[in-house]
Amino acid sequence: MSRVIVTGSAGRLGRSVVTVLRDCGHEVIGVDREADPGDPASRGADLTDARAASWLFSEVRPEAVIHLAAIAVPFSAPEDVILRTNTALAFAVMQAAVDAGARTVITASSPTVFGYGSPAGWTPRRLPLDESMEPEPWNAYALSKLVAERTARMFAAQLGNQVRFASFRPCYVIAPEEWHGALTQQGHTVLERLDRPELAAPALFNYVDARDAGMFLHVLMSGIRDIPNGETFLVGAADALARRPLAELIPDYLPQLTGVAADLTGSRPAFSIAKAQRLLGWHPTRSWRSELGVDAEPVLTRGAE
Ligand X SMILES: NC(=O)c1ccc[n+]([C@@H]2O[C@H](COP(=O)([O-])OP(=O)(O)OC[C@H]3O[C@@H](n4cnc5c(N)ncnc54)[C@H](O)[C@@H]3O)[C@@H](O)[C@H]2O)c1
Minimum distance between the CB of residue 130 and ligand X, rounded to whole angstroms? 16
Task: In whole angstroms, give the CA distance from residue 154 to residue 73.
Answer: 25
Closest alpha carbon to 138 in 115, 121, 110: 115
Supply the angle between the helices 50-60 and 79-99 in degrees, to the nearest 10.
30
Binds ligand X by CB under 6 A, chosen from 5, 10, 65, 152: 10
Of the candidate spans 9-17, 127-135, 248-256, 259-267, the one that interacts with ligand X by CB under 6 A turns out to be 9-17
Subset of residues 39 to 58 that bind ligand X, contact rule: CB under 6 A: 46-48
Is position 12 an interface residue for ligand X (rule: CB under 6 A)?
yes
Is position 190 an interface residue for ligand X (rule: CB under 6 A)?
no
Minimum distance between the CB of residue 236 and ligand X, rounded to whole angstroms? 10
What string marks each residue from 271 to 300 as x (binds ligand X by CB under 6 A) or -? Answer: ------------------------------
Closest alpha carbon to 261 in 74, 116, 109, 111: 116
Is position 69 an interface residue for ligand X (rule: CB under 6 A)?
yes
Size of the site for ligand X (CB under 6 A): 22
Is position 195 an interface residue for ligand X (rule: CB under 6 A)?
no
Binding site for ligand X (CB under 6 A): 8, 10-14, 32-33, 46-48, 68-70, 72, 89, 108, 110, 170, 172-173, 185
